[in-house]
Amino acid sequence: MTVLRMLIGRYLLGLRRRTHVAAVSAISLTAMTLGSAALVITLALLEGFQSTIRRQLTESGVHAELRPRRGAALPGGEWLAELRRRHPQLEVRGVSSGAVWCLVSDAAVPADLEVVDTLTTVEVNRVLAARLAAGAGSQIVVAGHRLVLTPLGPAPAQRSLVVGRVIASRPNDDRSVLRVPPALARGLLGTTALQRFELRDAEPARAWAVASDVQAEVPEEVEVVSFADLNRPLLAALQLERVMIGLGVGLVIAVAALNLLCNLALLAAEKRNDVAVLAALGLEPRHVTSLFLTLGLVIGFVGGVLGVGVGGLVAFVLDRTAALPLPRGVFIVSHVPFSVTPGAVATVLAVSLGAALLASLAPARAAARRDVLEGLRYE
């Protein structure tokens, strides 16, 4: 409607006389812009750190697991060979596990033993390496639960192993883990029936899709556990962190929306006479409602867009210039990372528009319900 566009333009810009109207609009716009910028920067910061964590997971962790639905052992057959043939990019490692003791000079360190069919050397994770004060090339003595007869009676089987490699521990996994080839494991555990298969794609970015890629190619007795399910607690924690921090920072937009509500109420009171005159000239109450609603939404939208622009630019510059360094050895990255995603942009715009809409409803309805005669007398 032409008249609404004209009114909105004049009230927002306040080009004549009522410069305090324009100032009030500018304050609301600035508040929405700052709130949106703060939310964009915060979401970019969260995404920067969380995407780094997710990348670490995909680069160092297992992308999918094949487990038996019933019993402890996987079914036999040609399915595994067929799987390996169809997906040459997948690293498929059969694993069985048990508990062992790593014997040091004055103590015994419990550890989880994982038997991996594709291993050719002994691996310890960082947690176990730290506890044993061992590294690549170190010799360790391992005692399993299989008993052997000795002159002194039954005793746990022991083997001396040379550590071939120290591997990274999984995030939030503080277990001591020892990984050995099947031949070494038989002496410690006896049986080495494979309990699960670990799948890793050569391209870490495909970690999320590995489970769905192989789902149709395994027997019914085999359960495919996806990357998301393997890391569910950590991913859920990351998501919760994103939501809670986003809500907290989103309160800035809520404050800006309250400011907008006050300013629209002030504007509606300021324009009481004008609105009454317009009603006397034939402007319907629903158009009065639309006028103030649209005013609020324009401020919310423009503020949101400006905030996204400002916040996105700040995040981009801070990330590209590595302006916020982090101590080495403490964090997994050298500087505070920022990553602005389309989803974050859409979220911020939706929040600012939604907040502006909620803030505009009450003043808009109140302005439409005002008595025309009261407004005409208000001069």
Binding region for other proteins (CB under 8 A): 1-3, 6, 10-11, 14-18, 273-274, 277-285, 372-373, 376, 379
3-state secondary structure of 134: coil
Helices within 220-335 (DSSP H only): 227-230, 232-270, 272-280, 285-320
Distance between CA atoms of 178 and 184, rounded to whole angstroms?
12
Cβ-contact 315, 340 below 8 angstroms: yes
Q: Which is nearer to other proteins, 219 or 285 (CB)?
A: 285
Residue 370 CB, nearest distance to other proteins (Å)?
A: 13
The alpha carbons of the chain give a radius of gyration, in whole angstroms, of 33
| Burial of residue 227 (number of CB atoms within 10 Å: 0-12, 13-18, 19+) | buried
Q: What are the backbone dihedrals phi and psi of residue 351, each rounded to the nearest 5 degrees, phi first?
A: -65, -45
Residue 31 CB, nearest distance to other proteins (Å)?
A: 24
Residue 14 CB, nearest distance to other proteins (Å)?
A: 8
Token readout for 23 is 């100032």
Q: Which is nearer to other proteins, 159 or 287 (CB)?
A: 287
Residue 278 CB, nearest distance to other proteins (Å)?
A: 7
Residue 10 CB, nearest distance to other proteins (Å)?
A: 4
Q: Which is nearer to other proteins, 209 or 376 (CB)?
A: 376
Q: Which is nearer to other proteins, 85 or 286 (CB)?
A: 286
Q: Which is nearer to other proteins, 298 or 308 (CB)?
A: 298
Residue 303 CB, nearest distance to other proteins (Å)?
A: 22
Residue 376 CB, nearest distance to other proteins (Å)?
A: 7
Which residues 6+ apart lie within 8 Å of 12 measured at CB?
Answer: 22, 25, 295, 298, 299
Q: Which is nearer to other proteins, 153 or 282 (CB)?
A: 282
Residue 297 CB, nearest distance to other proteins (Å)?
A: 20
Q: Which is nearer to other proteins, 87 or 287 (CB)?
A: 287
Distance between CA atoms of 258 and 196, rounded to whole angstroms?
56
Amino acid at 116: V
Instruction: Report the Cα 268 to chain-centroid distance in Å.
Output: 43
Cβ-contact 181, 119 below 8 angstroms: yes
Residue 11 CB, nearest distance to other proteins (Å)?
A: 7
Token readout for 184 is 């070494």
Amino acid at 239: Q
Token readout for 260 is 């907008």
Which residues 6+ apart lie within 8 Å of 202 measured at CB?
Answer: 89, 90, 91
- Provide, for the chain, the percentages of residues in helix, strand and coil under a 3-state DSSP scheme, each rounded to the nearest 5: 55, 20, 25
Cβ-contact 39, 246 below 8 angstroms: yes
Q: Which is nearer to other proteins, 73 or 269 (CB)?
A: 269
Q: Which is nearer to other proteins, 275 or 293 (CB)?
A: 275
